[in-house]
């Protein structure tokens, strides 16, 4: 068998992992979560979750990835199987392989299918900002007219996903690594430019709306708002932002050598993401929006903040074309370097399980994302920016299933692989020695925390009406079928993922399965 591709340099690896983690979550999800969940006080449940959940699961995923890579696997099915086999019979271990494979497959196909569209919108809006296309127009109407123009939507989608396909087709060390080495520094430059702009922005509307006031508003600790619900939001944000429970940290870690450090590198990934999230993400979008729009309109998240509130500001700001372009380019780089990891997961799956070459695999995945993205574009509720299909996928695949996979990360990598083996693996080739008191945190506290998060989220979803045939966020019931298309898709993809994992394990380890 030919030698598996490996990261060429430590710097490249760290930038790739940072690129994987740093995404839209840092720049538009985090500030909103903080603003509505206690401001500065949100940092308490946030950092608790970071240390008790984020870091342990990050380490678990690095260990899994490097372990799978040693046997030629960059996907979760066979990796979970091999680790679970340490304490289970092959016939039972295969179940864990199927669960891991199925969950990671659903995330890398479905989460990315809409994420890539948002990446495409960012490319479009970079162009629209640079040319001033939306200046002087109503931001809501402009967005709706952009989304209604399928030719345009697909053009910018195809530019973005085409470039991703090229990068992934070139390989890990010769493709992804080289691309992130250019994009990540540019991402930081764009972010720092925007932070400087943000923190020096007075308000032409009302002096008390300056961006510094917005910054204070966002970060002012409101302890009474910190509830169980906001603790769930904090833990959910940690999962999303660190790219945990997706299968993609493992995939990147599978291109390590068996003796390469994971302990310090995992921490470096976390630190770079947190800098980009708390410091950069917390200083850009909301403070800028605040200066021109005030507290009511600036405290927004997601599409509303990025594509409606901020364009409204850029069109009125001196050098708004430049700063607008910088903002959307930042989102584009952030999204691109995250989506590339999802893309690579699927190419690795085709390569390892079906022996399809990387170039061909990359073209197949392009076509797959095109098809899976169609419902996002055809969804009639985009005309009101409600996007039922996307919302339903995001609620389940983009939040809930991550936590389920996170729980299985610990079950497989720590319990079934056995805590002592895990601790030893974690320290193999490690640049640091992790203090022993951390071990019970990983073994007991992290899984209990994850179970509480899962139960809490289930209860929350139930109360919010997400389990209903027509979920509570649907205000136009005549389009509720699009919610059901999303649900059908999730079930279909989960089944495919489980079957694929089973066949992949059977193909390679069939003999032991017979026993
Ligand atoms: N960690 C990413 C973020 O913060 C999440 C993500 C990764 C989403 C890969 C999609 C694809 O945005
Ligand atoms: Na992130």
pLDDT (tens digit per residue) in 452-466: 999 999 999 999 999
Q: Give me 129's structure tokens.
A: 């900002």
Task: Give the tens place of pLDDT for each residue, 351-382.
Answer: 999 999 999 999 999 999 999 999 999 999 99
Q: Are 358 and 347 spatial neighbours (Cβ–Cβ below 8 Å)? A: yes
- The CA distance from 11 to 178, in Å, is 11
- CA dihedral (38, 44, 45, 50) in degrees, to 10, reads 130
Residue 488: half-sphere exposure toward Cβ, Cα within 13 Å: 8
Contacts with 46 (C-beta within 8 Å, 6 or more apart), sequence order: 34, 234, 237, 238
Q: Are 338 and 115 spatial neighbours (Cβ–Cβ below 8 Å)? A: yes
Contacts with 215 (C-beta within 8 Å, 6 or more apart), sequence order: 198, 199, 283, 286, 287, 290
Of 32, 108, 244, 246, the residue with max ligand 1 atoms within 8 A of its CB, to mutate for a pocket test, comes to: 246
- The CA distance from 121 to 161, in Å, is 12
The conformation of residue 277, written as its DSSP 8-state character, comes to: I
CA 189: distance to chain centroid?
21
Q: Give me 294's structure tokens.
A: 């005030």
pTM over 0.90: yes
Count other Cβ atoms within 10 Å, centred on residue 504.
22
- The CA distance from 197 to 99, in Å, is 46
- State the greatest distance between any 2 C-alpha atoms of the chain, in Å, as a whole number: 76
Task: Give the tens place of pLDDT for each residue, 376-427.
Answer: 999 999 999 999 999 999 999 999 999 999 999 999 999 999 999 999 999 9
Q: Are 343 and 113 spatial neighbours (Cβ–Cβ below 8 Å)? A: no
Q: Are 402 and 202 spatial neighbours (Cβ–Cβ below 8 Å)? A: no
Ligand 2 centroid from CA 328, angstroms: 16
ipTM score of complex: 0.98
Q: Which ligand is nearest to the CA of 118?
A: 1
SS3 assignment, position 468: coil
CA triplet 239, 500, 407: central angle to 5 degrees? 25
Q: Which ligand is nearest to the CA of 24?
A: 1
Q: From first to last of its 515 residues, what are the pLDDT tens digits of the chain?
A: 567 999 999 999 999 999 999 999 999 999 999 999 999 999 999 999 999 999 999 999 999 999 999 999 999 999 999 999 999 999 999 999 999 999 999 999 999 999 999 999 999 999 999 999 999 999 999 999 999 999 999 999 999 999 999 999 999 999 999 999 999 999 999 999 999 999 999 999 998 999 999 999 999 999 999 999 999 999 999 999 999 999 999 999 999 999 999 999 999 999 999 999 999 999 999 999 999 999 989 998 889 999 999 999 999 999 999 999 999 999 999 999 999 999 999 999 999 999 999 999 999 999 999 999 999 999 999 999 999 999 999 999 999 999 999 999 999 999 999 999 999 999 999 999 999 999 999 999 999 999 999 999 999 999 999 999 999 999 999 999 999 999 999 999 999 999 999 999 999 999 998 87
Please tell me the predicted confidence (pLDDT) of residue 147.
Answer: 97
Nearest ligand 1 atom to alpha carbon 277? 4
Nearest ligand 1 atom to alpha carbon 335? 12
Contacts with 224 (C-beta within 8 Å, 6 or more apart), sequence order: 38
Q: Tell me phi and psi for residue 149, to 5 degrees.
A: -95, 90
Please tell me the predicted confidence (pLDDT) of residue 514.
Answer: 84
Of 29, 240, 241, the residue with max ligand 1 atoms within 8 A of its CB, to mutate for a pocket test, comes to: 240
- The CA distance from 165 to 170, in Å, is 9
Of 16, 24, 109, 113, the residue with max ligand 1 atoms within 8 A of its CB, to mutate for a pocket test, comes to: 24
Please tell me the predicted confidence (pLDDT) of residue 513.
Answer: 87
Q: Are 450 and 441 spatial neighbours (Cβ–Cβ below 8 Å)? A: no
Beta-carbon neighbours within 5 Å of ion ligand 2: 21, 23, 25-26, 241, 273
For the chain, helix (H) and strand (E) counts, in that order, are: 26, 0
Please tell me the predicted confidence (pLDDT) of residue 3.
Answer: 77
Q: Are 192 and 27 spatial neighbours (Cβ–Cβ below 8 Å)? A: no
Secondary structure of 103-163 in HEC code, one letter for each residue: HHHHHHHHHHHHHHHHHHHHHHHHHHHHCCCCCCCCHHHHHHHHHHCHHHHHHHHHHHHHH
């Amino acid at each position: 068998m030919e030698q598996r591709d490996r990261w060429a340099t430590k710097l490249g690896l760290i930038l790739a992992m940072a690129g994987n983690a740093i995404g839209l979550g840092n720049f538009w999800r985090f500030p909103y979560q903080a603003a509505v969940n206690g401001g500065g006080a949100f940092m308490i449940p946030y950092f608790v979750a970071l240390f008790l959940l984020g870091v342990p699961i990050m380490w678990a995923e690095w260990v899994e990835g490097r372990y799978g890579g040693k046997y030629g696997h960059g996907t979760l099915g066979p990796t979970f199987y091999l680790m679970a086999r340490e304490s289970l019979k092959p016939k039972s271990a295969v179940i864990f392989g199927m669960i891991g494979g199925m969950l990671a497959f659903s995330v890398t196909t479905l989460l990315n299918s809409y994420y890539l569209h948002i990446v495409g919108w960012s490319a479009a809006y970079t162009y629209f900002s640079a040319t001033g296309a939306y200046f002087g127009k109503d931001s809501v109407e402009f967005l709706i007219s952009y989304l209604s123009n399928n030719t345009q939507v697909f053009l910018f989608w195809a530019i973005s996903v085409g470039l991703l396909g090229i990068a992934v087709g070139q390989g890990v060390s010769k493709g992804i690594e080289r691309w992130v080495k250019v994009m990540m520094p540019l991402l930081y430059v764009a972010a720092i430019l925007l932070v400087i702009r943000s923190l020096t922005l007075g308000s032409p509307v009302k002096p008390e709306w300056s961006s510094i006031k917005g910054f204070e508003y966002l970060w002012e600790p409101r302890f009474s708002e910190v509830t169980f619900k906001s603790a769930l939001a904090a833990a959910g944000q940690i999962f999303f932002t660190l790219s945990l429970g997706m299968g993609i940290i493992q995939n990147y870690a599978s291109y390590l050598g068996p003796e390469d450090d994971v302990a310090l590198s995992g921490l470096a990934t976390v630190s770079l993401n947190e800098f980009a999230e708390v410091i950069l993400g917390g200083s850009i979008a909301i403070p800028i929006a605040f200066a021109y729009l005030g507290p009511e309109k600036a405290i927004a998240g997601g599409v509303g903040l990025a594509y409606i509130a901020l364009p409204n500001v850029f069109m009125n700001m001196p050098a708004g074309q430049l700063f607008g372009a910088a903002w959307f380019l930042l989102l584009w780089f952030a999204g691109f370097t995250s989506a590339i990891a999802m893309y690579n997961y699927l190419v690795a799956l085709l390569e390892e399980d079906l022996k399809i070459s990387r170039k061909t695999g990359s073209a197949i995945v392009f076509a797959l994302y095109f098809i899976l993205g169609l419902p996002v574009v055809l969804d009639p509720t985009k005309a009101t920016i409600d996007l039922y299909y996307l919302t339903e996928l995001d609620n389940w695949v983009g939040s809930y299933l991550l936590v389920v996979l996170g729980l299985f990360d610990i079950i497989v990598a720590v319990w079934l692989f056995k805590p002592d083996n895990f601790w030893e693996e974690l320290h193999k080739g490690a640049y640091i020695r992790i203090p022993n008191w951390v071990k019970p945190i990983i073994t007991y506290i992290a899984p209990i925390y994850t179970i509480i998060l899962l139960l809490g989220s289930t209860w929350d979803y139930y109360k919010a009406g997400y389990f209903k045939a027509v979920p509570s966020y649907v205000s136009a019931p005549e389009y509720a079928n699009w919610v059901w298309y999303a649900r059908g898709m999730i079930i279909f993809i989960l089944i495919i993922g489980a079957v694929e994992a089973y066949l992949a394990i059977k193909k390679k380890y069939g003999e032991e399965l017979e026993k």
